[in-house]
Each structure stands twice: as structure tokens, then as C-alpha cells.
Structure 1
Amino acid sequence: MEENTMKRSLSLRTITTVSVILGTYILIQAANATEDGASQTRVFTTRSIQGAWGWSAGYGVVVPPAVPEPLPTVGMGTVVFDGQGGCIVTSTLNQNGTVIGPVTSDSCT
């Protein structure tokens, strides 16, 4: 019985050690890949980007003095780039259960 417990303990220790080493290796490789990619930064403009993109703003709170009491707030929307420098931004806000929007803008700045 004691020998079985030692084998399981040794096996668990071996698996844990190998997992930690493998995890560390993967993290190092990921960090190196990020550094390599950073040296080849690609720049884009409103003329080179095209398509529809979604966004969301997680839970936040609007606090006084903007409002009399703190209000929970979230938002989401889309930005559609036409590839020629134009865009359309659509936003919807939920502030304390009240939906505001959608609000649309054609300004990318």
C-alpha cells in the first residue's frame, strides 16, 4: 500500500514538473514571437482599413458630479470603414437600464 502511494506521488510530481516546464517553454516562445512581430509593425490608416468592426465597453459607472448618483453603464456598437477614408460609427449605450441610441456618426476622428 505504501509503495503504491509513493508511486502515485512520484508520478504526480513528475507530471507536475513536466507541465510546469512545458508551460514555461510555451510562454517564452509566445513572448519571443510577440517581440519579433513588434519589430515589423504595420501601420494602417482610415484609407487602408476596410470592413465592419464591432466594439463593446464593459461595465462602468458614471459618477457625480456628472449625475446625482453613480449609474452603471455599458456600451456597444460598430464601426464600418469604406476603404476610402470614410466611416460610419453606430453606438448604443445602456445606462442604469435605460437604452440610449443607436447614435450614428460619420466622423472617424
Structure 2
Amino acid sequence: MADLCPRFEGAMGILSKRWVGLILFELLNGTKRFSEMETDLPISGRLLSDRLKMLEKENIVERNIYSEFPVRIEYSLSDKGKALKPVIQEIQNWADNWMPSDYAEQSNT
């Protein structure tokens, strides 16, 4: 049990960083280019880049570079990242059942 707490805290530290959940949710739908994610998510390019680098360092996201002109860079979930799918789906289920439908509006006031 002593090993569980630090590991759990470490996992929650990664997953609770702002925008990480949405980035992972986006990548569950498949490989994406940076520009696609930047368009689809309400996040600045700089912060998106920062979060993707952090997720890559944690081996949750893979960055693939294709030698084309212009260079094409795509992001996808690693096996470690794909293993988060049931966790993210359960959080979505919990939110659907327990969070008010106007929660986003309430939290902005």
C-alpha cells in the first residue's frame, strides 16, 4: 500500500494538469497534427506545445516526424496513453451522471 500512494499522486499530478484531459480525449480519436489540435481545442499554441512535450516525456504521447516538404509532425497516444482510454471514459460517464449540464457556464462566473 505504501507504493500506491506516491504512484497514484504521480498519475493524478500528470492527469490533473490543465488541458491534459482534453488533449488525451482528442488523441483517443486517433493521430492528430498540431494544427488540428490547435484548431479543435480552446488552448494557445504555446501551452498546447508545452503539454504535448510533457506528455511525450512521460511516454503517454508519441511524436512522429515525416520528412516531407513541409515537414509533417503528428501526435498519437503510445500504448501507455491508450491504456488511459477506460479511465477517461469512466470520468466522462461520471461527469455525464453527476456534473450539471451548465457546469462550464457556472464555473466561468
TM-score if structure 2 supplies the norm length?
0.19
Structure number with higher strand proportion: 1
Which structure would you say has the larger RCO, counting Cα contacts within 8 Å and 6 or more residues apart?
A: 2
Larger radius of gyration: 1
TM-score if structure 1 supplies the norm length?
0.19
Structure number with higher helix proportion: 2
